[in-house]
Amino acid sequence: MDSILVKGNGPLSGQIPIAGAKNACLALMPATLLSEEPLTLTNAPRLSDIATMTELLQSLGAEVSSLQEGQVQALSSHTIDNHVADYEIVRKMRASNLVLGPMLARLGQAVVSLPGGCAIGARPMDLHIHGLEALGAEIELKDGYLHAKAPRGLKGAVIELGFASVGATENIMMAATLAKGTTVIKNAAREPEIVDLAECLKKMGAQIEGAGSPDITIQGVDRLHGATHPVVTDRIELGTYMLAPVICGGEVELLGGRLDLIGAFVEKLDEAGVDVSETKAGLKVKRRGDRVKAVNVTTEPFPGFPTDLQAQMMALMCTAEGTSVLEEKIFENRFMHAPELIRMGAKIDVQGGLATVTGVDHLKGAPVMATDLRASVSLILAGLAAEGETIVNRVYHLDRGYEQVVRKFSGVGAQIERIKGN
């Protein structure tokens, strides 16, 4: 198994290009199932999850070609000859459940295995099911598979989500594009990935209003056509790499970065003593003093502080001046990186959904183990701030969400290399 070796680092300088958003791309790809005509996605990230979604769509009968080293995904669902999303593919990735809504809308039936993915708490499908049932689908769970059918087609409805779930919002929105009449999703998720999916669906001929607000209205149409769409910048990758010059010193420009994607995160950085400025090509980041100040963080759905940047922020707070409290409100078990950071000399006390971090002068390099995707990159960031060498094991998590990590970090002067395992 591969590992990543990181050495404590001096100041960084240069540019890091930010890829398209994984979570946006994973929702955009199943949108091909809604139309017989081709869908082309540009600015796609090159990640193992994208390859898994490709495999899933191909298993259903879609044609998927990866062009320009994977940055362009050309999809066509002219004929969908299989409506069963198999467990062996779905278990690799949670977003696989996003084929349910589109297949149901276009074929009137779908059988989808319950998903897998990172081990961060129970992320149930009940909101997806509730929403699709409101549109007239009949769904039952048998042998770990959701069997869904809509023999009389889907009909518009008002659906209030108990929680602003991104996946449920995406699934319902896609299904509703081809339903008869009007659908209103209340308490919809507001993430940039939702807005991006809505923009793409609109290019395909869907009638959608209100994406990015708590109420999304979809007027069903008879059919959708093809489109070309650029995937929105990955705000989590953006936030992650913004922390590199904060942890190491220096100044780095993040190409493709946008303030509107990470407003709450930038507010916290400003409070901690970090300057973020807009440039023609993206965002520039540098810290104002030698050490950042401790700040408290509570994770919230968008536009609040993203749960997917909590681990990286914790790594930063380990070397901050003062004590910070990080509260995790989105996923349980999301502090699995804390014991690994403690191995590097961090002072962290975890009580349920609260982690209290007391900043130390220096972290020390150590062998550590990645427990999930975001944790693995937080350990790399901590390694850059530490004295000596840090070896991060189990980096396969990393490959699911970050493309070319070593190249991007080393491009701005970080001492990092990948060590091939057996």
Dihedrals phi, psi of 353, to nearest 5 degrees: -90, 10
Tokens of 296: 């408290």
248 given a catalytic annotation: no
DSSP annotation of 211 reads B
Cα atoms found within 13 Å of the Cα of residue 176, Cβ hemisphere only? 30
Catalytic residue among 118, 200, 248, 318: 118
Q: Is the dihedral of CA 178, 179, 183, 187 positive or negative?
A: negative
**Which residues lie closer than 8 Å to 128 by C-beta, 6 or more apart?**
97, 100, 101, 165, 167, 168, 171, 172
Cα atoms found within 13 Å of the Cα of residue 88, Cβ hemisphere only? 2
- Per the DSSP assignment, residues forming a β-bridge with 323 are 358
**Nearest-angstrom CA–CA distance, 333 and 353:** 8
Tokens of 60: 């259903």
Inter-CA distances, 133 with 35, 38, 115, 161, Å? 22, 29, 19, 13
Burial class (CB in 10 A: 0-12, 13-18, 19+), 355: buried
**Catalytic residue IDs:** 118
